[in-house]
Amino acid sequence: GSSPFLFLLDFLHGLDDPIHNINRYSNVIPKMSSSFTTADRAAITSQSNNEDLWGFVCFPWPEGPWNPLCAWHSSQSEEREFHSPSCLDGAIRIKVNSQLISNVCTDALSAEKYYYFIRLMGRKHSHVALECTLQSHPNMVILGEEVAASKLTLFDITKQICDAVKARADQDKYHGVILLPEGLIESIPEVYALLKEIHGLLKEGVPVDKIYTKLSPWASALFDFFPPFIKKQLLLHPESDDSAQLSQIETEKLLAYLVETEMNKRQKEGTYMGKKFNAICHFFGYQARGSLPSKFDCDYAYVLGHICYHILAAGLNGYMATVTNLKNPVNKWCCGAAPITAMMTVKRWSQNPIASSIGKPAIYPATIDLKGKAYELLRQNAIKFLFKDLYRNPGPLQFDGPGADAKAVTLCLKPGFSKELLKVALNVMALITNMSTTYSSPK
């Protein structure tokens, strides 16, 4: 709620020079919860008026508390609210994860007897996994968007990995590194349907130990198929945006277990004649999130703060600070601001089982463009990555010297924009123009 904001105001009062000292103590700034009520708004507004504050800058995380925007717009407060993107740690996560993955790749090549299954924190979409793959060149990556688009089942994914293991064994290679995005589990059609059924029962107040008895026959059969540790994790209460607790579901261990079971089966049947399959699992998330910021993120944050000042000085309300042309040096970046409402969509949701569905405005993260340049680059190199062990180590975070200004591969690539999407956009624009002309013409 509002308590983190009020705590921050009290904390700043204790500093002799808040503006210059906030950099030193920025790690004490707490995060607001996803629950932000009218009472929270009233408490913050009252305290802000007492402190003679007249601006409110929000850094909402994806699918997070965008309702402060609606709360302020619906109030009579003289405070102006504007937002800054919440993705300030993107470069940090990518750089730290890429180095950790590269270290694992080196160890895999040294030991030559383990397959490493690495799950990467990144919520529902696979942007972090894609960028880390292009940075460190592991043998394989399973992207959630790819799985969803192809409607791959858990069996399909297991078979795909097992076939890759066998193909490498034919070249006398019994090691490898496989990346998995955190949101992969929700991209698998049958698992997603099972999670929705479980979450629906939890919202109805069904006790966790009784969920199994309430599942539909097909969901019950799938639930039975999972090992005990996954069953326990699937029964966790969903997040505030109705998604599963992705960081708590050990997809890497599930796939390692299924692949090991299938490889043992193939070995008994004589279709696999190689050495025993051995897996080691990792989850990289908190290690990267708690790192010192990269030079890019430092520059990005300062530029966003500068834009927020100009938005406030211009008297604008409900705007998002934007920076484009990021692949170029900082002095070539283009700053601007866009109305938040132009980027928002409304999601239907219910606060409790007896409440009616209400609209929840939010800006939802973009998925990986499977027709874009970054994905195309991955597809072009997938076979080489799988068989040739072209492991690459981008090195640690640097604040000066070589590598300090290195940008993400996906950022530097020319953005892909499919002809089909362009055609649809032009048709919609033409339709809007015609409608505007019709309604504005005199009768």
For 391-401, what is each residue's pLDDT tens digit? Answer: 999 988 888 88
What residue spans define the domains of the chain?
3-83+296-362, 90-291+367-388
Q: pLDDT, tens digit, for every residue of 50-106?
A: 666 667 677 655 555 454 455 444 444 444 544 445 555 678 888 999 999 999 999
Angle at which helix 217-225 crosses helix 189-203, to 10 degrees, equals 110
Confirm or reject CATH 3.40.50.2300 for domain 3-83+296-362, answering yes or no: no
Signed CA dihedral, 221, 226, 229, 233: sign only: negative
Q: What is the CATH number of domain 90-291+367-388?
A: 3.40.50.460
Reading the block at residue 135, the tokens are: 């940075």
**Does residue 17 have a pLDDT over 50?**
yes
**Does residue 21 have a pLDDT over 90?**
no
DSSP characters over 320-389: EEEEE-TTS-GGG-EEEEEEGGGG-EEEEE-SSTTSPPEEEEE-PPPPP-TTSHHHHHHHHHHHHHHHH-
Residue of 275, 337, 353 lying closest to 85 (CA atoms): 337
**Does residue 368 have a pLDDT over 70?**
yes
**Does residue 319 have a pLDDT over 90?**
no
Q: What is the largest CA-CA distance in the chain?
A: 82
Q: Identify any residues that bridge with 321 across adjacent strands, giving them in sequence order.
A: 337
Decide: helix, strand or coil at residue 277: coil
pTM, 2 dp: 0.81
Of these residues, 17, 89, 241, 400, which one is catalytic? 89
Q: Does 241 qualify as catalytic in the annotation?
A: no
Q: Which range has highest mean pLDDT (58-67, 134-143, 301-310, 320-329)?
A: 134-143
**Does residue 187 have a pLDDT over 90?**
yes
Decide: helix, strand or coil at residue 228: helix
Give, in order, the Cα–Cα distances in Å from 286 to each of 89, 213, 289, 312, 389.
12, 36, 5, 34, 27
To the nearest 10°, report the CA torsion of 32, 284, 120, 138.
160
